[in-house]
Amino acid sequence: MKILVTGASGFIGRELVKKLSQDHHELFLLTHHSGLSGEHTRLKSLTELPQHTSTLDAVINLAGAPIMGKPWTEARKRVLWASRVRLTETLVETVAQLASPPKVFLSGSAIGIYGDQGDTPLDESAHLQGGFGHDLCVAWEQAALKAESFGARVILLRTGLVVGSGGGFLKSMEWPFRLGLGGPIGQGRQWMSWIHRDDHIRLMCALLLNPDARGPINLTAPQPVTNTEFTTTLARVVRRPAFFRVPARLLQWILGEMAGLLLESTRVIPDAALKQGFVFEYPELEAALREALGEN
């Protein structure tokens, strides 16, 4: 297949590119980084795409500025919006003009679309509610769904916290826990819905090839955990205590609105993936953390 991948040098994208290369797909990569190995066509801008091909079979859209790391000032919100919503709008407009537009369009989204819903299990049919993260994901998905206008099968990748080596949210948590400085956040009762990066990539590839897959898909492991369970498991994996609880008010004072990413409770179930017969290699958190941290 001829596949365009955006966000190709990111935490998920770079491993996805390796997998697609192993499967002998022809890849067009939208990235400003030159560190990706392999004989691929690299694009610094979407305007370059028509110079290299007039046909595509698929698009996998993973582009987006990091959601964590910087407070959500109004300026930062504009960056997050532009790198997701505006880029996706431009992407759809660009590929629509090809002589043969893609038949399948996988596009990033996140479980933040569901908002804070306590202990309620959330499958793809769950209602959605409030906040900037929700608004961002809704607009992001709506931009991707415009690809249906040229007949593409659109899949919305509602991704949870991705566990893997060399990056992602785990990178910022690992060393405090290895130093014995980790612990629950707030009351620790909020649900964390996670997925191992290998399962995320395997599921994307399965969705790419499944003609019946479309619409929102939860990319999370079948066993979400509370924050207390997550931190206790992480501490056990690195063989350290986890006594240092982070007060919710302190986190809100430091991070502002972005603190909701760590304090809101989103108990997501990958109902669509399970019904399609997908088998998770890492359904349980401890095995996923051990692989990611090299603690097997």
Q: Structurally, how many domains does the chain consist of?
A: 1
Q: Which long-range contacts (CB under 8 A, 24 or more apart) does 206-209 make?
A: 206/276, 206/278, 207/106, 207/155, 208/1, 208/3, 208/58, 208/60, 208/104, 208/106
To the question of pTM greater than 0.85 for the whole model, the response is yes
CA distances from 214 to 84, 117, 175 (A): 20, 25, 39
**Is residue 247 over pLDDT 70?**
yes
Mean pLDDT, rounded, for 66-83: 90
- CA gap 144, 212 in Å, rounded: 18
pLDDT (tens digit per residue) in 118-152: 999 999 999 998 888 999 999 999 999 999 999 99
Q: How confident is the model at residue 208, as a pLDDT?
A: 97
Work out the percent of the chain whose per-residue pLDDT is above 90: 76
CA geometry: angle at 249 spanning 248 and 251, to 5°?
65
Mean pLDDT, rounded, for 161-186: 90
Is pLDDT larger for residue 188 or for residue 249? 188
Q: How confident is the model at residue 278, as a pLDDT?
A: 97
**Is residue 36 over pLDDT 80?**
no
Question: What string of DSSP letters covers 216-240?
Answer: EEEES-S--EEHHHHHHHHHHHTT-
Sign of torsion, CA 278 133 174 61? Answer: positive
Strand partners, 59: 4, 105
Q: How confident is the model at residue 100, as a pLDDT?
A: 97
**Is residue 76 over pLDDT 80?**
yes
**Is residue 252 over pLDDT 80?**
no
CA geometry: angle at 283 spanning 177 and 231, to 5°?
20
Query: Of 167, 52, 163, 38, which is closest to residue 98 (Cα–Cα)?
Result: 52
CA distances from 40 to 27, 28, 54, 150, 230 (A): 5, 6, 16, 26, 38
Q: How confident is the model at residue 24, as a pLDDT?
A: 93
Q: How confident is the model at residue 38, as a pLDDT?
A: 64
- CA gap 216, 154 in Å, rounded: 9
Q: How confident is the model at residue 35, as a pLDDT?
A: 58
Q: Domain holding 282: CATH number?
A: 3.40.50.720
Q: What residue numbers bound the domain in which 157 lies? A: 2-293
Quote the mean pLDDT of the chain.
Answer: 92
Q: How confident is the model at residue 51, as a pLDDT?
A: 93
Q: How confident is the model at residue 167, as a pLDDT?
A: 87
Query: Of 70, 31, 124, 128, which is closest to residue 258 (Cα–Cα)?
Result: 70
User: 271 pLDDT band (50/70/90 cuts)?
Assistant: very high
